[in-house]
């Protein structure tokens, strides 16, 4: 007997959409509330319930210069999962690196506090000091190249129903392995000059050269 998969969409007005977009990017709101806001925004984009669940449970790291990516799929997306993913990056993938330059959005779990809530003080400090943090603008998280990777994974794997998390892990691992083997990179065209034209109204002095 087949099981019916229901999808619940919402229709936000411009004011509601703007409020929620600001809410999820301020970096000051509780993670659970931010997740609920993200669900509403995704549902407004006509993303199905199943796809929303997959998006919210996936963490990913992308090294654009070498075309290598790391992915982690968990049942939850809390401070604990973020801290453990960052610890794995430090201790497994880049254990010999002196500094890891990390670009991420302003989600309130993306900070050193997550390490201290998850690990003992010595471990938390060691992991925290390993990173050099760079945050995308609060209203422009799309400036993080990893967002392109999420999109690629979605197109190749997540646009169909996958009922079990273990199956999801296996499917995404195959795609990540394939992309890593051919060193798939991002053709990033959003240069400094393009940014200045697009965000001209935010510059106090248009004659800034640096």
Which range of 20-34, 42-56, 104-118 scores highest in mean pLDDT? It is 104-118
Predicted local confidence at residue 164, as pLDDT: 75
- Among candidate residues 72, 47, 37, 40, the one with its CA nearest the CA of residue 58: 72
Q: Is the per-residue pLDDT at 9 higher than 70?
A: no
- Please enumerate in sequence order all residues whose Cβ is within 8 A of that of 23, keeping only pairs 6 or more positions apart, or say none: 29, 33, 34, 37
CA distances 108 to 34, 127, 160, 171, Å, are 9, 18, 30, 29
- Say which residue, 48 or 74, is predicted with more confidence: 74
Does the reported pTM lie above 0.75?
no
CA–CA separation, 39 vs 95, rounded Å? 35
Q: Which of 73-77, 125-129, 132-136 is predicted with the least confidence, judged by mean pLDDT?
A: 73-77
Mean pLDDT for 186-190 is 72
Residue 101's beta-bridge partner residues? 132
For the segment 192-207, what is each residue's pLDDT rounded down to a tens digit? Answer: 788 777 777 766 554 5
- Say which residue, 138 or 117, is predicted with more confidence: 117
Burial class (CB in 10 A: 0-12, 13-18, 19+), 72: middle
Domain boundaries, the chain: 57-186
Mean pLDDT for 148-177 is 74
Average pLDDT of the chain is 75
Predicted local confidence at residue 64, as pLDDT: 66
Mean pLDDT for 128-139 is 84
């Amino acid at each position: 007997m087949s099981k019916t998969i229901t999808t619940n969409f919402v229709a936000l007005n411009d004011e509601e959409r703007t409020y929620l977009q600001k809410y999820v990017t301020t970096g000051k709101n509780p993670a659970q509330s931010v997740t609920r806001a993200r669900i509403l925004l995704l549902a407004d984009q006509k993303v199905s319930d199943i796809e929303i669940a997959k998006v919210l449970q996936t963490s990913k790291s992308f090294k654009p210069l070498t075309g290598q990516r790391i992915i982690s799929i968990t049942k939850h997306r809390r401070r604990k999962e973020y801290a453990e993913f960052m610890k794995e990056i430090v201790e497994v993938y880049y254990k010999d690196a002196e500094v890891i330059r990390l670009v991420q959005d302003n989600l309130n779990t993306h900070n050193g506090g997550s390490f201290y809530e998850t690990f003992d003080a010595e471990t938390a400090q060691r992991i925290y000091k390993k990173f050099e943090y760079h945050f995308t603008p609060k209203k422009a998280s799309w400036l993080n190249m990893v967002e392109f990777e999420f999109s690629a994974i979605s197109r190749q794997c997540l646009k169909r129903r996958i009922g079990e998390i273990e199956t999801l892990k296996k499917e995404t691992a195959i795609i990540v392995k394939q992309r890593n083997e051919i060193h798939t990179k991002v053709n990033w065209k959003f240069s400094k000059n393009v940014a200045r034209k697009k965000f001209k109204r935010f510059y106090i002095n248009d004659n800034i050269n640096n």
